[in-house]
């Protein structure tokens, strides 16, 4: 891949090349980190314990909240920095980056403290049973109570680096942690800790990996700050203008809420699945990990798109902004269609990777895998609709339109998906619960397309879907 300056990448390089340069490292990072998040489930599955698998499904919700909170300052601050760069306001961009960095630290510490104080009732609410609560506590202590700071800060730093054109450094930092976790997981789970401590071993490995990733990203951020409008100085954070502080929250809060509502939907899925049985919960946990593969690629495409759209929106080059949005959407649709075909064909083989039927509890494991294959074949159909929802949301964030982003998030989850989940579960039980994702995301995509047409037309005179 050719080497371009940051200015060329945002302003003059052909859109397909610019998007490739920004998106490919992000996609690789997303996939490696997805594998890293799935590695815990994979190795825990080698134990054959459906209850350990169910426990990691419960704690996934708390892990996703790290992502939601990192979006507050990562997406909010990152998109603002890109827009300020487009306006050639580097001093303001530097203050915004520093404010986002310091804000992420305070938010991470607050979240760790809150979960540490109320861990047991929170896990019970999320669906932990008497059989899974002990495993869930072990994982939460290391990954959330101790580990939220490095995890959340890493994601925030990666967003800020990516939005100033340092996509490769951001992606390498996150990928480095993912690769390290793949190495440390079996070491802690099966070598260093005694049998029965596999969940604790996975949690310690995840914590150490996040710490190492955070250290690398801090160094990369410090190095990039010599050439880009980035800063970690609390003094510079205090120089941010009221308007820019408001701009961070205007985009960051809806982005955090969007991820938080996605997390809320997962909580509802867990509660409804657990109401059927721990085995249904374990099956749904496997499926929610597998279906994240095409989602990770599509989110990587959209994250690569965001800084280019934001920069050209602010600089007034609406034609390039529209072309970038259209190209990203086309790439995402192709990814979704391919993933649907593959998962429909290979659903049993894919789900079998996550749970052994040759260890203790083999009969229970077979029931889990039967459920998982059925759920996956249904839920994978939502992939193309999820892409359209991601694309619309990232485009609106890039333009700084927090109101539209918030409206989309609320309607998508609270009006469409979650009500569909309860209704279809009531009518068709487990099958209905799995089908709710397809129905909810399809309705959300129709609303997102309508909303994005209006926002783009009003803000730029360009129609991204046209």
Give the C-alpha separation, 126 to 25, whole Å. 34
User: Tokens standing for 212?
Assistant: 């190492």
In a domain, residue 337? The reply is yes
CA distances (Å), origin 185, targets 150, 181, 182, 286, 346:
18, 6, 6, 18, 26
* Cα 368 to Cα 379: distance, rounded to the nearest angstrom: 16
Query: Domain limits at 405?
Result: 6-460
- Helix, strand, or coil here: 56? helix
DSSP calls for 387-439: HHHHHHHHHHHHTT-HHHHHHHHHIIIIIIIHHHHHHHHHHHHHHHHHHHHHH
Closest CA to 24 of 221, 194, 167: 167
Q: Model's pTM, two decimal places?
A: 0.74
pLDDT tens-digit profile, the chain (466 residues):
456 666 778 888 889 999 998 888 888 877 876 776 666 666 776 666 677 777 777 787 788 888 888 888 988 898 899 889 888 888 999 999 999 999 999 999 999 999 999 999 988 888 777 888 888 898 899 989 999 999 999 999 998 998 888 888 888 888 888 788 888 988 988 888 888 788 888 889 989 999 999 999 999 999 998 888 998 999 998 899 999 999 999 888 887 887 788 878 888 998 899 889 888 888 898 898 888 889 989 999 998 898 899 889 888 888 999 999 999 999 999 999 999 999 999 999 998 887 766 665 678 888 888 999 999 999 999 999 999 999 999 999 888 887 888 899 899 999 999 999 999 999 999 999 999 999 999 999 999 999 998 888 766 544 444 3
Task: For residue 172, give every residue at least 6 positions away whose Cβ sits within 8 Å of its Cβ, in sequence order, or none.
Answer: 25, 29, 216, 220
Of the candidates 101, 100, 102, 104, the residue with the CA atom closest to the CA atom of residue 76: 100
**Gyration radius (Cα) of the chain, Å:** 21
Nearest CA to 130 out of 278, 283, 279, 286 is that of 278
- Is 330 within the bounds of a domain? yes
Q: Does residue 466 lie within any of the structural domains?
A: no
Q: Is residue 465 part of a domain?
A: no
- 355 DSSP 8-state letter: S
Token output for 293: 């593969």
Q: Structural domain tally of the chain?
A: 1
Greatest Cα pair distance in the chain: 63
Residue 178 lies in a domain: yes
On whether the CB atoms of residues 357 and 365 are closer than 8 A, the answer is yes
Residue 368 lies in a domain: yes
Task: Tell me, yes or no, whether 169 lies in a domain.
Answer: yes
């Amino acid at each position: 891949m050719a080497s371009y300056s940051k200015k060329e990448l945002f302003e003059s390089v052909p859109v397909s090349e610019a998007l490739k340069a920004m998106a490919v490292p992000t996609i690789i990072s997303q996939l490696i980190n997805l594998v890293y998040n799935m590695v815990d489930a994979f190795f825990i599955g080698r134990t054959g314990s459906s209850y350990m698998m169910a426990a990691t499904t419960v704690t996934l919700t708390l892990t996703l909240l790290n992502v939601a909170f990192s979006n507050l300052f990562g997406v909010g601050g990152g998109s603002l920095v890109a827009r300020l760069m487009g306006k050639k306001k580097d001093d303001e961009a530097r203050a915004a980056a520093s404010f986002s960095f310091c804000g992420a630290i305070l938010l991470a510490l607050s979240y760790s403290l809150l979960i540490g104080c109320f861990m047991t009732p929170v896990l019970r609410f999320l669906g932990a049973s008497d059989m899974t609560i002990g495993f869930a506590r072990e994982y939460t202590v290391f990954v959330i109570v101790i580990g939220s700071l490095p995890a959340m800060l890493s994601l925030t730093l990666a967003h800020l680096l990516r939005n100033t054109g340092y996509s490769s450094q951001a992606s390498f930092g996150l990928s480095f942690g993912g690769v390290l976790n793949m190495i440390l997981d079996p070491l802690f789970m099966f070598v260093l800790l005694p049998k029965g401590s596999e969940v604790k071993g996975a949690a310690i490995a995840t914590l150490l990996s996040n710490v190492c990733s955070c250290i690398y990203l801090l160094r990369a951020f410090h190095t990039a700050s010599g050439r880009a409008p980035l800063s970690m100085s609390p003094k510079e954070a205090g120089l941010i203008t009221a308007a820019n502080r408001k701009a961070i929250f205007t985009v960051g809060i809806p982005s955090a809420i969007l991820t938080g509502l996605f997390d809320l939907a997962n909580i509802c899925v867990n509660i409804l699945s657990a109401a059927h049985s721990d085995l249904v919960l374990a099956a749904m946990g496997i499926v929610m990990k597998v279906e994240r593969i095409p989602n990770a690629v599509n989110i990587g495409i959209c994250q690569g798109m965001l800084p280019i759209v934001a920069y050209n929106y602010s600089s007034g080059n609406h034609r390039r902004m529209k072309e970038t949005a259209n190209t990203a959407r086309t790439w995402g649709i192709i990814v979704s269609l391919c993933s649907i075909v593959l998962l429909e064909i290979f659903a049993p083989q894919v789900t079998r990777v996550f749970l052994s039927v040759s260890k203790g509890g083999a009969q229970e494991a077979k029931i889990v895998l039967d459920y998982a294959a059925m759920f996956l074949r249904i839920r994978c159909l939502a992939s193309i609709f999820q892409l359209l929802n991601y694309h619309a949301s990232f485009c609106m964030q890039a333009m700084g339109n927090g109101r539209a982003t918030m409206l989309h998030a609320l309607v998508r989850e609270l009006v469409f998906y979650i009500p569909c989940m309860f209704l279809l579960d009531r009518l068709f039980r487990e099958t209905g619960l799995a089908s709710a994702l397809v129905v909810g995301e399809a309705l959300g995509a129709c609303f997102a397309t309508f909303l994005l047409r209006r926002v783009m037309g009003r803000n730029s005179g360009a129609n991204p879907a046209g």
